[in-house]
Amino acid sequence: MAGKVLEIRAMSASSTPAPGIRSAPVVAKLIDTSACIGCKACEVACQEWNDLPPETTVQIGTYQTMPDTTPSFWNLIKFNEHETDDGAFHWLLRKDQCMHCADPGCLKACPAPGAIVQYNNGIVDFQQDNCIGCGYCIAGCPFNVPKMSRQTKKVYKCTLCVDRVSVGLEPACIKACPTNCLTFGTKEVLLQKAKSRVAQLQTAGFLDAAVYDPPGVSGTGVVSILAFGKNPEAYGLPKDPSVSFAVEIWKGPLKWIGNIAIVGGIIGTFVHYLRFGPKHVPEDDKAKQADAGR
Amino acid sequence: MTNGWTDIANADVVLAMGGNPAENHPVGFRFAMEAKRNRNAKLVVVDPRYQRTAAVSDKFVQIRAGSDVAFLGGLINYALTHNRIQEDYVKLYTNATFLVKEGYAFDETTGLFSGWDKDKKAYTDKSTWAYDIDPKTGFANVDETMQDPRCVFQLMKKFYARYTPAMVSSICGCSPQDLEKAAEIVTSTYLPNKVGTIMYALGWTHHSFSVQLIHAAAMLQLLLGNIGMPGGGLNALRGHSNIQGGTDCGMAYHNICGYIAIQKADQAKFEDYLNAVRPKPLRPGVMNFMANYDRFVVSQYKAYYGKNATQENDFGFNLHPKLPVGAAPGTYQNWSWAYMFDHMYEGQMDGLFSFGMNPVCNGPHSRKAIAALSKLKWLVVAENFETETAAFWSERVLWLNGGKPEDVKTEVFLLPAANFAEKDGSFTNSARWIAWKYKALDPPGDAKPDQEIIARIFLKVRELYQKEGGKYPDPVLALNWWYTSPNKPALEEVAKEINGWAITDVMDEKDPKVVAVKAGDQLGKFLDARADGSTLSGNWLYIGSYTQAGNLTQRRNGADPSGLGRYSEWAFNWPANRRVMYNRCSADATGQPWDPTRADIKWNGNKWIGDVPDYKPDSPPEAGMGAFIMNPEGVARLFVPGQFVEGPWTEHYEPMESPVQNPLHPDGQSSNPAAKPFKTQWDKLGKPDEYPIVATTYRLTEHFHYWTKNNPYNLQEQPEFFVEIPEELAAEKGIKSTQYVRVTSARGSIVGKAMVTRRIKPMTIAGKKVYQIGMPIHWGFFGAGDQEGSIANLVTHSVVDPNSFAPEYKGFLVKLEKA
Amino acid sequence: MKPVKVAQGNVLRYNFTERLVHWTAALSYIYLLLSGLAFWTPWMWWVAMMLGGGPVSRAVHPWMGLIFTAAVVYMYRMWLPDMRITPTDLEWRKTIRAYVRNEEEEMHPLQAARGFDRFAPVDRFNLGQKYLFWLMFWAGLTLLATGLVLWFSDYLPWSLRWLRLLSAFLHPVAFLFTVGGFIIHVYMGTAVVRGGFSSVIRGEVSESWARYHHRLWLDRVTGASAAKK
Amino acid sequence: MTTSRRDFLKVTTIGGVAVSILGFDLTSAYAEVREMKIARTTETRSTCPYCAVGCGIIIHTLGDKSANVKPAIVHIEGDADHPTNRGALCSKGITLKQDVVNDRRLTTVKYRAPGSSEWQEKSWDFAIDRIAHLLKQARDEKLVMADAQGHTVNALTSVGVIGGCTDTNEINYLLVKAFRAGLSIIPLEQQARI
């Protein structure tokens, strides 16, 4: 039922264009990292809503739950310590999760038809039923998001709670967030909000405050406000992420060159056969004669 | 809280000190974030650690655990010396103008107030901590100009002049610039149209000087004109869902429901008791609301004993137990938590009921708690999960004290109880909102709701008294157990009783011919209660929560026409559905709001409009009734005339275990003169030469107290006990992150993983380099996953604040080594 | 190699081990090719369906890759002496155009003797076969290395992600090279060089076939012609 | 041989085309979105039992409360109408389901005899009976009716009651009423003290 609500804008390994023609408002999540208190409500809200099993963790010398997201833990608050030049200490807290890129590298890299889809509201979703577990999406992602389960050999990540969004609800993490660090809405509206918040941060002395909506992936469905916007690395974010050149070549020119080469090769041999045919081995005696003749 | 969670969004400055709201009250903290976002409010965080609240602060100052008073003293001094006080407010609403009794003095060398007996080492005479009273009228003398050297304001200025930035820096370990910067922001709210709030929690109450600490914060807020203002106040965040309701409803040895002091053994007559709880007014025209306490005492007795509370038996004055007198003259026995466990350890107790409490973990000094429990004949624990307390006799727990289960003769009952989702009833949050919750499902297996457990035990004992008689069975038999289903009282019925109803027709007090409340009707307001036995009310504070209009705690109207987050029709807000307490102070002498954009109440010529006024609703401003209706002075107390045991002002005293001698009076009193350590073999205090490091304990946002250690998700979020150690100290000791370290105090030791961090910096205290470390609570022996018994309270001591009797969990001494 | 006459006029060109290894490589390669093509382009996804579905193809593919690489490495051990490129090969290469155009046939029978002379004599494998061998060997190793990275892609730390990207890129590149080699090999072995396919099935070739295509080899294995020469 | 090789290629090509024409169309499966798990659950309004913010929560239970349903908690989430939390919850509140549905929950009465090193399972009747006897015994032995100065005291200090801070006002009131007003117990304490 819910599937009818969302049409597909892009689909992995699709030999034909995706079927969606209806437009839908592009939804987005705004993360105001300057308002994050690292309470981790979003972490468990995500797990609880998605009925994901708890991970076994150990204390690793920080408040961070674990080093990285996992197949059953899609949303991790990263605790980065940062000292500015004036010696002021900052705890930079960032929600690490799928960015729902407008131009998703994972979808581009995925060879399994329909394993990764992008709905017309912008959500990039993995369909584990169609996933073949090749891990190409891991290579395709500039943000280190998809994680493969050792048990199921399928890749998992944040779905932006597409089950909730498709019936008109906000994602679980958004609802849980106590400080309004997370906001859900259409991307258009959220970008406006982000702009005014950045201005407010700049007035408050964070002159580099900026919106992180990297153009390298045509913008993301998960937009962050960074107080130290010139230094996304301090938050553990890539400075200028894009789908890797290697993936672009591989899924772009190389694909066409390869296809042409293969088809060309087959046609070429066929034409060669038509033109030249097989080699005929001379009769043995004739060969002998020739030998003798020398 | 004087205000409420939703009201914090109205603040211009939020001082989070003695609490870590982002960590422990993340959802409540959202209003501080709203203030920041919508009003550009400034958040100042003062704490021993750079923590989650600090992560979003505008100014963070690290101070030594246990030096908060000095910091607040510094802020008060800054406000006074820079004239950043709201003078009109101070004159109108505080006792700054009051003259102090001749003889009151403070000795800056010894750090002691007048009345100290050097030999007995105690304040034997507190009579000078008082106002200068006009013998003819009985009222206090005042100087409206505040120029008299004996007026509170001048004395206060002189008292806090010692808290210079340099002195504060030397005590707290922060730089003088840090103090001044924080002070500049905090005191910026002295303007009438600027309001600041303070959010504090157990970081202030867990000290041997906690009440005075909060007094200091109150003084600061009063000087800045922030009490009673929307966006202002002094807000205790509180740590448990119904810790507010528990204290409201009398779960404390020293008072009955509604914060009325318990009757004492030396109050021979009912009248003596009533006089003790009804003070005489100290200024002309004040409301002195506590004069009404007779109504509430009698109504409470009527709720308890029903028909058996009669005019003839003083409504059951003798049916109710009285607090026995203590050993020293003029004192009473102390049965507060730490004392109870001390008495228990001394063998004075037979049995203990624990409803959802886990004293082995949550009380101070776990090993003493285990030793004390071992002295009990029997222990009854009603719980959701097996706890360290219920199984204190097991080898798993007992090894801490080196005993064997067979030596523990305590008979233990562990009763499976229903949890929150499995029963209905109301919780009162820290904003004093009484909100009803509904039952979602039945308890699992044989588990029973607490009302059934309480009722069945009580009724069984009553049955035994009926059958076989016994000692003084009167109250047992007299108790009014009227519930439709006696073995399992419906909580709706109990809620009705707590609010109370008219037993017979209640007549209007102005016109005795008019029936104010019909017999059988629920009481609607405080003054519907009567002292003649015609009404009953279990807790006067909750009058209005269950009226003829129904159970108002179930209200769910989210409308907020005020725009100030008042939500007047959401649930019920004691007292009288008032959302901001002391709100008379939000308006000036003429009844007009100091800040029209934040008007909580306002005089419209006939009555006060807006929020429910904390005032007589139709008393005009010029009548000068006094904004603090509960105080016989009618004003707030900067100078506290005798209510506190260690003095009328807040002086900085060092924690019981301190790395230094008090820098304010190095040759005088160092720690709180009124705080007294217990004397058992367990109650040892450490010296700084052996235990040089300051330690503090706290909660983490991922866990709730000692409950969520049963939840796999929460354990995943914070799997194990750890010790936060400053980088420099770790380097000195050769400790690396995630290595195991041992923290030892004079009471015991505890092992956990090191978390080496830059978030705690070394400090210079009184010229000495001092390190502090931090330890979260939350783990024990029982729970999901591997629990290793890393109970933080194994190293804390049980010295308590002499007013509130709260233990000093913050700022004690330890040593640290690799494990 | 010991000359073995298997039947009248026939020479044993590939012994059983060689044929087995060849077909191990060939069949595993065909599987890899088919499943690889399915992963390469959605147009060929139906192949994965035929092979038991995407996840199965994905699961079997790396194991087949191991088999293929093992066969290739075995071939290396087995055929290395025969696969070294010699000066004669370089001589032969000069006339490759004519070889491709089957011009040796046009000359026959009129200039048969000369025709034979137009080509440098060929040992057991001609240069084209050697190229195929080396292509498959190096591409095979590349496919193995990159394939292993992709196989255990999820174990690779984020700091080594360049390795994953490099592999994702090099794997198909190497694959394309092998496809090229494979097409030519199959075409040559089946359609062009008649007798080639059966030689790798039954192991035998006729003497004349051997003389025509691999004279040096035939001379070497029979011994006689070397003497005659 | 050569023909068979060619045949093979031919067959597979035709077969492939045939198969892709004939079916294996996956597009219908592509658009699947997970089912909303709380689409038809019963909602109960409650309050989070942890800290004192008092967040409103909604408990989603299985079934529609019809007579033949034994409800079980499916999900707990914040109450968006509640003015304090407006749907938000912290990392503890959001996992409340595990506080209710937990295999460590106590479901039977347990009793530890003096000196024993293990629990025994007992009935409620046994427990209530035994506790009442012990309580009455303590009260009969230790209740102080008057002190040395002759003051009326009528108090029992040898039995303590702690608790209530995470239970409802009504339970707290019942504790005070039954144990202090009824059974004369003075040491009534709770978490607020510590």
- Tell me the C-alpha distance between B257 and B42, whole Å: 38
How far, CA to CA in Å, does B378 sit from each of B298, B462, B543? 35, 19, 38
Q: Is the pLDDT of residue A283 over 90?
A: no
CA-based max dimension of chain B: 84
Q: Considering the domain boundaries, does residue C63 fall inside one?
A: yes
- Topology given in CATH for the domain delimited by A2-248: Alpha-Beta Plaits (3.30.70)
Question: B723: closest CA among B736, B710, B712, B713?
Answer: B736
Q: Is D38 on the interface with B (CB under 8 A)?
A: no
Q: Which of A81-85, A140-144, B137-141 has the lowest mean pLDDT?
A: A81-85
- What CATH number should be reported for the domain holding residue C71? 1.20.950.20
Chains meeting A at 3+ CB pairs closer than 8 A?
A: B, C, D
Tokens of D159: 């039995």
Provide the chain D residues 5-24 that lie in CB contact (below 8 A) with chain C: 5-6, 15-16, 19-20, 24
C-beta atoms of D24 and C194 within 8 A: no
Q: Is the pLDDT of residue D25 over 70?
A: no
Q: Which residues in chain C land under pLDDT 70?
A: 1-8, 104-119, 224-229
Q: What are the structural domains of chain B?
A: 6-98+163-239 (3.40.228.10), 244-326+494-552 (no CATH), 337-461 (3.40.50.740), 693-818 (2.40.40.20)
Residue of B nearest to A88 (CA): B60
Computed over every residue of chain C, the mean pLDDT equals 85
Tokens of B429: 């949050």
Q: Is A24 on the interface with D (CB under 8 A)?
A: no
By the 10 Å C-beta count (0-12 exposed, 13-18 middle, 19+ buried), D130 is classed as: middle
Residues of chain D in contact with residue A172, where contact means CB-CB under 8 angstroms, are 77
Read off the pLDDT band of A282 (50, 70, 90). Answer: low
User: What residues of C are in the D interface, CB distance below 8 Å?
Assistant: 44, 46-47, 49-50, 186, 190-191, 194, 197-198, 201
Read off the pLDDT band of D164 (50, 70, 90). Answer: confident
- Tell me the C-alpha distance between B768 and B759, whole Å: 20
- Cross-chain CB nearest to C46 (options D2, D5, D16): D16
Residues of chain D in contact with residue C19, where contact means CB-CB under 8 angstroms, are none
Computed over every residue of chain A, the mean pLDDT equals 90
Q: Considering the domain boundaries, does residue C145 fall inside one?
A: yes
> Is the peptide bond prior to B688 cis by the omega test (within 30 degrees of 0)?
no
- Tell me the C-alpha distance between B412 and D162, whole Å: 15
* Owning domain of residue C42: 10-86+123-228
Mutate to test the interface with A, among B25, B56, B757 (most CBs of A within 10 A): B56
Read off the pLDDT band of A289 (50, 70, 90). Answer: low
Chains meeting B at 3+ CB pairs closer than 8 A?
A: A, D
C-beta atoms of B464 and D136 within 8 A: yes
Q: What is the least distance, in Å, from the CA of A23 to any CA of chain B?
A: 33
Specify the pLDDT at position A3: 44
- Cross-chain CB nearest to A135 (options C102, C153, C180): C153
How far, CA to CA in Å, does B73 sit from each of B218, B694, B738? 12, 21, 39
What are the average pLDDT values for consecutive 10-residue runs of chain B, which has 819 residues? 96 97 96 96 97 96 97 98 97 96 96 95 94 95 96 97 97 97 98 97 96 97 97 95 95 96 96 96 94 96 97 96 92 96 97 96 94 97 96 94 94 97 96 97 96 98 97 97 97 97 95 95 96 96 97 96 95 95 96 95 95 94 92 96 95 97 96 95 95 96 94 95 96 97 96 96 96 95 83 94 95 95
- Cross-chain CB nearest to A139 (options C48, C153, C228): C153
Please say whether the beta carbons of B100 and B639 come within 8 A: yes
Tokens of B219: 């003084």
Q: What is the least distance, in Å, from the CA of B388 to any CA of chain D?
A: 14
Query: Mind listing the pLDDT tens digit for each residue in B36-88?
Result: 999 999 999 999 999 999 999 999 999 999 999 999 999 999 999 999 999 99
C-beta atoms of D19 and C49 within 8 A: yes
Residue of A nearest to C162 (CA): A139
Amino acid at B409: K
- Cross-chain CB nearest to C46 (options D2, D5, D19): D19
Please say whether the beta carbons of B168 and B179 come within 8 A: yes
Question: B337: closest CA among D188, D184, D173?
Answer: D188
- Tell me the C-alpha distance between B204 and B192, whole Å: 27
User: What residues of B are in the A interface, CB distance below 8 Å?
Assistant: 22-23, 26-27, 29-30, 33-34, 36-37, 40, 50, 52-56, 58, 60, 701-702, 712-722, 737-738, 753-756, 758-759, 785
Please say whether the beta carbons of B600 and B229 come within 8 A: yes
- Cross-chain CB nearest to A294 (options C113, C192, C194): C113
Q: What is the least distance, in Å, from the CA of A109 to any CA of chain C?
A: 9
Provide the chain A residues 149-168 that lie in CB contact (below 8 A) with chain D: 159, 162-164, 166-167
Across the B:D interface, residue pairs with CB atoms under 8 Å apart total 512
Please say whether the beta carbons of A108 and A141 come within 8 A: no
Residues of chain B in contact with residue D138, where contact means CB-CB under 8 angstroms, are 350-351, 377
The reply to whether ipTM tops 0.90 is yes
Query: Mind listing the pLDDT tens digit for each residue in B542-573?
Result: 999 999 999 999 999 999 999 999 999 999 99
Query: Mind listing the pLDDT tens digit for each residue in B349-406?
Result: 999 999 999 999 999 999 999 999 999 999 999 999 999 999 999 999 999 998 899 9
- Cross-chain CB nearest to A41 (options D29, D33, D89): D89
Query: Mind listing the pLDDT tens digit for each residue in D76-88?
Result: 999 999 999 999 9
Those residues whose C-beta lies under 8 Å from the C-beta of residue C169, and which sit 6 or more positions away, are: A246, A247, A249, A250, A254
Total count of domains within chain C: 1
- Cross-chain CB nearest to A11 (options D30, D33, D77): D30
Q: What is the DSSP string of B708-775?
A: GGG-HHHHHHS-S-EEEEEHHHHHHHT--TTSEEEEE-SS-EEEEEEEEESSS--EEETTEEE-EEEE
Q: Is A60 on the interface with B (CB under 8 A)?
A: yes
Q: Considering the domain boundaries, does residue C75 fall inside one?
A: yes
Tokens of D8: 């093979």
Q: Considering the domain boundaries, does residue C107 fall inside one?
A: no
Are β-strands B550-551 and B546-547 bridged in parallel, bridged antiparallel, or unpaired? Answer: antiparallel
Those residues whose C-beta lies under 8 Å from the C-beta of residue B771, and which sit 6 or more positions away, are: B692, B693, B694, B726, B728, B729, B762, B763
Specify the pLDDT at position A294: 40
Q: What are phi and psi of B528, to 5 degrees?
A: -70, -25
Where in chain A are the domains? Answer: 2-248, 252-293
Please say whether the beta carbons of A126 and A147 come within 8 A: no
Residue of B nearest to A194 (CA): B37
Query: Mind listing the pLDDT tens digit for each residue in D31-67?
Result: 567 888 998 899 999 999 999 999 999 999 999 989 9
Query: Mind listing the pLDDT tens digit for each residue in C79-134?
Result: 999 999 988 888 888 888 888 888 765 544 444 544 455 567 788 898 999 999 99
Across the A:B interface, residue pairs with CB atoms under 8 Å apart total 105
Provide the chain B residues 569-628 that lie in CB contact (below 8 A) with chain D: 570
Amino acid at A20: G
Q: Is the pLDDT of residue D5 over 70?
A: no
Read off the pLDDT band of A84 (50, 70, 90). Answer: confident
Residue of C nearest to A156 (CA): C154
